[in-house]
Amino acid sequence: MQKYARMTGWGKYVPERILTNLDLEKMVDTSDEWIRTRTGIRERHIAAPGETCCTMSVAAAQQALAVAQIPASEIELIIVATSTPDYLVPSVASMVQDQLRATGAPAFGLRAGCTGWVYALVTACQFLQTGAYRNALVIGTEHLSFGVDWSDRSTCVLFGDGSGAVVLEASDQPTGLLAFDLGSEGSDYDALIFPAFGGANPASHEVIDRRLHYLKMDGRRVFKFATRVLADSVRKVVAASDLTPEDIELVIPHQANDRIIEMARRKLGLPPEKMMVNIDRYGNTSAASIPLALVDAIEEGRIEAGAHLVFVGFGAGLTWASAAFHWEPQEPSAIPVADWPIRDRLVQPVARARTALWSARVNLATRIEPLLLPLYSFAAGYKKRRKKADK
């Protein structure tokens, strides 16, 4: 019998320490206005001494397990998505497994940059859908503050620390993952990179002197990549799910930059209330950003049972990932599989036609948008030149 992966638990953890834009003004040559207008970020959470990827993951996981009402001893699979583990070896997932006392559960880490949690979610769903496991704990955590160069204003204003976790349980009733789209463009691998402490640049005095042990980012390349793939990937999973844009209650994107999110929203033709944004509170938390946004959306009452969600991210690699997901935390009464995903098969041709029209309209907007980017850049440069002239 076909199995499905129901999301039954969720939790988050962010460090108590908050670093505001006003705090950053005292550290580097920047301003609250500059950061807000270009990123949408107002503050971010920074791990305290002793807080690590492992400790934050455990805290978020414990919340998720409590919501799902499953003891850690019954968890059958643990996947931790992160680019900032406590050690290169062992996997932080094994450390989390030990701290949770999830005795015997297989555990592994997954690195796909900011898209890591979506990759991990899709991976876990495969194990449940095939019947290999009855449940799984999927965590996205980042301890980015330890790898940020706090003298580099182009990166230090962007990132924060945190963790988000969900529990998946196998179900006989249709729910969960509807479709997914994963991809990578490795030719731009160096657009977002920790250059040192791997095999290519082992630890050395030269590495430290050149500050290669800090995160480096080519913001322009990442921005162009993100604005291209984000909307495209959402369209793909919506169409593959036999849904229409109107059927999607909420899109939960990676929280990297509110300008990127807004551009994707306009390309998709979605109203603001259908796009989850919480970057102002956390900054870019990489693999933790989508599960953090999911938990916030739940706490804000923006997700109801039966809702169709889309998780979508982009990040180091460069990678992208999206997943269309049916939200049904509690086991409902039996639903005929013929009605899955919540629609009569007789109306599917109409739905596909609506999707095709929507896709054509969005494709037109996608082609026009790059032509406008130079205008945005010129306007920003003109404003900057006017400020200098006024001084």
DSSP helix/strand/coil, 284: strand
| CB proximity list for 172: less than 8 A, separation 6 or greater | 1, 3, 4
156 catalytic residue (yes or no): no
In b/e form, how buried is each residue of 20-38, taking b as 16+ CB within 10 angstroms? ebeebbeeeebebeebeeb
DSSP alpha helix (H) spans, 101-253: 116-129, 153-156, 205-209, 219-240
In b/e form, how buried is each residue of 244-260, taking b as 16+ CB within 10 angstroms? bbebbbbbbbbbbbbbb
Catalytically annotated residue among 254, 257, 278, 326: 254
CB contact at 8 A, 175 and 160: no
Cis omega before residue 110 (within 30°)?
A: no
114 catalytic residue (yes or no): yes
Q: What single DSSP character describes residue 218?
A: -
| CB proximity list for 46: less than 8 A, separation 6 or greater | 15, 17, 18, 19, 145, 160, 161
Structure tokens given for 302: 């923006």
- Which residues lie across from 193 on neighbouring strands? 216
Catalytically annotated residue among 53, 54, 114, 156: 114
284 catalytic residue (yes or no): yes
> Between vectors from CA 38 to CA 44 and to CA 188, what angle results, nearest 5°?
90
Catalytically annotated residue among 45, 278, 284, 308: 284
Catalytic residues: 114, 254, 284
